[in-house]
Amino acid sequence: MAGVFFCSDGLKRRAVIVIKVGIVGATGYTGVELLRFLALHPEAELRVVTSRADAGTPVSALFPNLRKYVDLAFSAPSMDSLSACDVVFFATPNGTAMTMTGELLKAGVKVIDLSADFRIKDVKVWEHWYRMTHACPELLDEAVYGLCEINRAAITKARLVANPGCYPTAVQLGFLPLLRAGVIDPGSLIADCKSGVSGAGRKAELGILHCEVSESFKAYAIGGHRHLPEIKQGLDLVSKTPVGLTFMPHLVPMIRGIQASLYARLSDTRVDLQQLFEDSYRHEPFVDVLPAGQSPETRSVRGSNHCQLAVCRPQGGDTVVVFAVEDNLVKGAAGQAVQNMNLMFGVPETTGLDVVAALP
């Protein structure tokens, strides 16, 4: 664990630590993003990178962008090797992390799960939306929801962190200041969201092939998206009454990025919305509230751990609109997971994440 000590010159210094890291399921898009950030993290050392299908294959053979940065080969998941780590990230499909987390925690290993296995506290709600029986419901109460901007103190003490979903990150960061201030009607919230195709994962599936999505635009999961209960759970925690939320995701023909247009009815039209948002996120390193009159673009956060927000009242009416953009693979997944790791090990929160977005 990192700590502060005094040098002979009387100045404070922070002890540098090496966090031994394992990644389970490192061949997907979020897995390679974890590798990209952790390969250059000054206080993390990649020890184990697993993939059953690619065991024995050098990481750089599958991901040439990591040549000279990651000198490891993929291996099959092994409790012996993972137990020697300080922290294990699960970048796996839903249902995998919950079968291994209990044993890792008993071995003293901290766990950050990028899937949905520990995000929802009500096991019946989780099993309804994810269509499987939960393997370790006894850990749901302990799991800390890893939205750093609201749970920072709890994350620093956690053994098990449930990394938020990509849509829930953008939607919650956009609505939370309004709900906390009590200036909107919580019963009629609308989240109109668009995501790039990488949100569907790295797999060969007809609906996400280039020829199927290029030059097209559509809503999906119109009967109900699995991120809905996660978003409601987070918003309900800060709302005086349970929220009523209409959440509609759309697929757009781009690789990365989420754009959320969030609508609510103001119950207090006297509020200075711009000031409210600036005050709410003034000290947050990865949330950027744009000046009044600007609208964020997904390309402005591509490859970075930032979420950009803008707020307005169209025509000065009683409707407030919040725009939120993020990279779904970074602030919506791997970057936020590294942010959580930093907090869990007493490392400055921005370590390894000070990346400028790539333009164009």
The answer to whether 7 is a known catalytic residue is no
| Residue entry with tokens 């790039």 | 196
Residue 199: C-alpha distances to residues 16, 166, 194, 249, 252 (Å):
35, 8, 10, 11, 10
Q: Which two tokens stand for residue 256?
A: 């990365």
DSSP string, 165-232: PHHHHHHHHHHHHHHHHT-B-TTSEEEEEEE-GGGG-SS--GGGSHHHHTT--EE--TT--TTHHHHH
Q: Which of 39, 168, 174 is nearest to 114 (CA)?
A: 168
Residues 6+ apart with CB under 8 A from 270: none
Task: HSE, CB side, 13 Å, CA atoms: give it for residue 135.
Answer: 12
Q: How far apart are CA 49 and CA 23, in angstroms?
A: 5
* DSSP classification of residue 337: H
Q: Which of 28, 37, 19 is nearest to 331 (CA)?
A: 37
Of 113, 121, 95, 3, which Cα lies nearest the Cα of 341? 113
Q: Which two tokens stand for residue 13?
A: 């210094």
Of the candidates 166, 193, 211, 312, the residue annotated as catalytic is 166
Separation of alpha carbons 101 and 135, rounded Å: 10
Residues acting as catalytic residues: 166
